Amino acid sequence: MPFAENDGVALYYEAAGSGPTVAFLNEVGYGAWLWGWQHAALAGPFEALVLDPRGTGRSDAPPGPYAVETLADDLDAVLREHGARRAHLVGAGLGAMVALDYARRYGRAGSLVLLGTALDGGSVDAEALDAMGGRGPESLSPCLSPDFVERQREVVEGIRSWRETDDAGPDARAAQAAAMRAFECDAPYEVTIPALVLHGADDPVVPPAAGLTLAEALPRGRFETLPGRHLAFVEASRPANDAVVGFLESLERPR
């Protein structure tokens, strides 16, 4: 099993497919199951790399506090260990903040796809974020619309099962959530690579207006909404995948 190490912390990752590397970065507490819908669409024309951030899945869970900057350093350790000289970064929530910080401080990022995130943690609804950390049916309420839950009961049951085995434990999740709330991207003008900002139209965790502000602050940012809540890229996986694949293919197309 492939592991990288940063400052004594072992970080699990795996990759599938061939072509340009696309690294997926998780939302607070969630395991790599989060990317099942996008992974299937990208692994093939791209190399899809998923990793367990510290505190999650098979990676080590050191005591907090965590910081977005540390998680970005972890990502660099994974990409270096894997031998990826360049990678497109796809992140959700906290993972998108990690992608932003990484792109500002490292030269390895080729582009960004930022899902349900903001320039700073002050834009995150703390109550909704805390609710996501539970294990009952209400924990998915900020993430998935009632209509989706009703129509896709087998999918929702699968998510609940995956969360039990793959998600971060309570202490590590709290450390990740604190990192998200403390984040502030004070120099978005320095992130000059292409960026696609996707946001659920009914996201109660990070308001769509915060996503629009983010896109407008990035020199090469573009904003699009998806139907659904915080995990709109799960609810509306087909249009989300069309947007992501189209964006990445436009960057890799020979000029």
pLDDT digit of tens for each residue in the chain (255 aa)? 699 999 999 999 999 998 999 999 999 999 999 999 999 999 989 999 999 999 999 999 999 999 999 999 999 999 999 999 999 999 999 999 999 999 999 999 999 999 999 999 999 999 999 999 998 889 999 999 999 999 999 999 999 999 999 999 999 999 999 999 999 999 999 999 999 999 999 999 999 999 999 999 999 999 999 999 999 999 999 999 999 999 999 998 654
CA distances from 79 to 27, 48, 75 (A): 19, 12, 6
Whole-angstrom distance, CA of residue 225 vs CA of residue 96: 16
Measure CA of the first residue to CA of the last residue in the chain; give whole Å. 37
Which positions ≥6 away from 173 have C-beta within 8 Å?
28, 29, 55, 133, 167
Residue pair 138/115 in contact (Cβ under 8 Å)? The answer is: no
- Number of structural domains found in the chain: 1
Residue pair 89/244 in contact (Cβ under 8 Å)? The answer is: no
* Residue 186: φ, ψ to 5°: -90, 0
CA distances from 149 to 93, 146, 153, 231 (A): 21, 5, 6, 12
- Looking up residue 61, the CATH number of its domain turns out to be 3.40.50.1820
Which positions ≥6 away from 139 have C-beta within 8 Å?
131, 132, 133
Task: Provide the domain limits for residue 208.
Answer: 3-252
